[in-house]
Amino acid sequence: MKTENSTLRLEAFSDGVFAIAITLLIIEIKVPSHEDLKNQTLFQYIGHQWPKYFAYVLSFINIGIYWANHHYLFKFFKNTNHVFNLLNVFFLMAIAFLPYPAGILGEYIMEPEHTRTAVAFYAFAMCLPAMGYFMIWIYAINNKSIINIKLSSRFIKSLTLQYAISNLLYIVAFIISFFSAIASITLSVALTLVYLLPSKKPEYFE
C-alpha cells in the first residue's frame, strides 16, 4: 500500500492551487475594448493601467512568498491527518481568494472615493492566509504525528513569534486602512519587502 498520510499529495495539490491563483492574477488586467480606446490611445491605456500592474506584482510576490514559506514549513512535516488537511484547505481558500481583492485594488486604488475601501479590502484579504498559515503551524507543533523531526524548542518559539507578529502586522495594516489608505498600503508593501529578505532563522534541530 502507498505510504499513508504522506504529505506528498497535499503538497502537490497546494502547489497546484498556488500556481493557478498566481497565474490567474493576470486575467484581472483586461485587454482594452475598442470602446476603451475612444478617448485615449492604446499607449495611454497601457500606461493608465499602472495600478493594475502594481496590484499584480504585489499579489504575485505575496503568493510567491506564501508558496516558498509553505514549501519551507512542509520540510518539517511527514504526515497529515484530517484536521491538518482541513486547515490546509482553509489556507488555500484564502490564497485562491486573492485575485478578487487584487483586482479590486488594481481597479479602484486610484479613484479617490473608492481608495479606502479597495485598500481596506485588500488588507483584510491579506490577513486571511496569514491566519490560515499560522493555524497550520500551531496545529502542527501540537501534533507530534505531523512533525517528522525533533525541532528545537528555540526554533519553534522563534517561528511562532515570527508568525504571530506577522499576523499582527497584517491586522494593523487592515485597521490603519480606515484612517489612511496610503499608510495601510505602504505597510503592506513594506511587509512584502521584509519577507523578500532572507530570514535568519535559528537552527531547527537541537
Cα gap 32→42, rounded to integer Å: 8
Cell numbers linked to 121? 479590502
Q: Which residue is listed with cell 490611445?
A: 41
Q: Per CB under 8 A, does 191 bind a second copy?
A: no
Nearest to 163 by CA among 189, 191, 187, 185: 191
One character per residue 109-138, x = contact with a second copy (rule: CB under 8 A): ----xx--xx--x-----------------
Nearest to 122 by CA among 195, 190, 61, 58: 58
Backbone φ, ψ for residue 2 (5° rounding) = -65, 155
Q: Which stretch binds a second copy (CB under 8 A): 76-84, 138-146, 159-167, 179-187?
A: 76-84
Q: Which residue is listed with cell 485594488?
A: 105
Residue 46 or 175: the one with the smaller Cβ distance to a second copy is 46
Total interface residues for a second copy by CB under 8 A:
68
Q: Per CB under 8 A, does 22 bind a second copy?
A: yes
Cell numbers linked to 7? 504529505
Q: Which of 41, 112, 142, 203 binds a second copy (CB under 8 A)?
A: 41
Q: Per CB under 8 A, does 25 bind a second copy?
A: yes
Q: Per CB under 8 A, does 174 bind a second copy?
A: no
Q: Per CB under 8 A, does 12 bind a second copy?
A: yes
State the nearest-atom distance from the C-beta of 144 to a second copy, in Å. Answer: 15
**Kind and range of the H or E element at 183?**
helix 181-196
Q: Per CB under 8 A, does 71 bind a second copy?
A: yes
State the nearest-atom distance from the C-beta of 71 to a second copy, in Å. Answer: 5
State the alpha helices, DSSP H only, in 75-152: 82-97, 99-108, 112-141
Q: How many CB atoms lie within 10 A of CB 202?
A: 11
With contact defined as beta carbons under 8 Å apart, do 93 and 34 qualify?
no
Q: Which stretch binds a second copy (CB under 8 A): 42-50, 131-139, 155-163, 167-175?
A: 42-50
Looking at this protein, which amino acid is placed at residue 2?
Answer: K
Residues that bind a second copy (CB under 8 A): 1-2, 4, 9-13, 15-29, 31-32, 37, 41-43, 46, 56-57, 60-61, 64, 67-68, 71, 74-76, 78, 81-83, 85-86, 89, 92-93, 96-97, 99-100, 103-104, 107-108, 113-114, 117-118, 121, 148-149, 196, 198-199
